[in-house]
Amino acid sequence: MKKEVIRIKLDSGAKMPEYAHEDDACMDIFSNESLVLLPRHRAAVKTGVYMELPRGYVALVKDKSGLAIKNGISTLGGVIDSGYRGEYLIILVNLSSIPFKIERGMKIAQVLIQKVERLDLETVDKLSDSDRGEARFGSTGSGLKNKPIKHKSGLHDIKKAIN
């Protein structure tokens, strides 16, 4: 059986994505620019990486846990379809109260390559029953099983509904 291959083009100075360990699910992806990400701001960070994924695969961008816990840096908008041929821009947000310096060559995110299956869509008037039903946020293990949470908006109203 032939193993699928990801074709990768790199801009000048860009670092090749890499799996740090043999058993890693995700490959690290690196910044190809230096910038300062201000508190509560976001930026599309250049990687200089262009990938040609095989048809039927998707790239999912995930946080680097060290950046998240130590610096409050998180990723946004992390689905890249196989038909996309442009530069992989990693949307980072600084959730902390301190500016964060991104250096060229720094690991900024990880990318999970996943096989996808497309299913047919069908409109129906009613969905089948399930054990969970319409139970929402935090419903498992909280005594709210099969009891929808009624809320107006915001986390405050959800907490009131749970208590």
Contact 28, 17 (CB under 8 A): yes
132/139 Cα distance (integer angstroms): 9
**Which value, in Å, is the radius of gyration of the alpha carbons in the chain?**
20
Q: Classify domain 7-115 by CATH number.
A: 2.70.40.10
Q: For position 120, what pLDDT does the model report?
A: 96
CA nearest to 40, candidates 105, 95, 80: 95
pLDDT class for 2, splitting at 50, 70, 90?
confident
Encode pLDDT of 150-162 as tens digits.
555 555 555 555 5
Average model confidence (pLDDT) across the chain: 90
Q: For position 138, what pLDDT does the model report?
A: 75
Encode pLDDT of 113-153 as tens digits.
999 999 999 999 999 999 888 888 877 765 545 555 555 55
Tell me the backbone φ, ψ of residue 126, rounded to 5 degrees. Answer: -145, 140
Segment 92-114 shows an average pLDDT of 98
Q: For position 134, what pLDDT does the model report?
A: 85
**Domain limits, CATH 2.70.40.10, in the chain:** 7-115
Q: For position 1, what pLDDT does the model report?
A: 77
Segment 78-99 shows an average pLDDT of 97
Task: Please state, for a pLDDT cut of 90, what percent of the chain lies above it.
Answer: 78
146/129 Cα distance (integer angstroms): 11
Contact 130, 139 (CB under 8 A): no
**Distance, CA of 135 to chain centre:** 25
Segment 81-109 shows an average pLDDT of 98
Segment 48-59 shows an average pLDDT of 97
1/4 Cα distance (integer angstroms): 9
Per-residue pLDDT at 58 exceeds 60: yes
Q: For position 156, what pLDDT does the model report?
A: 53
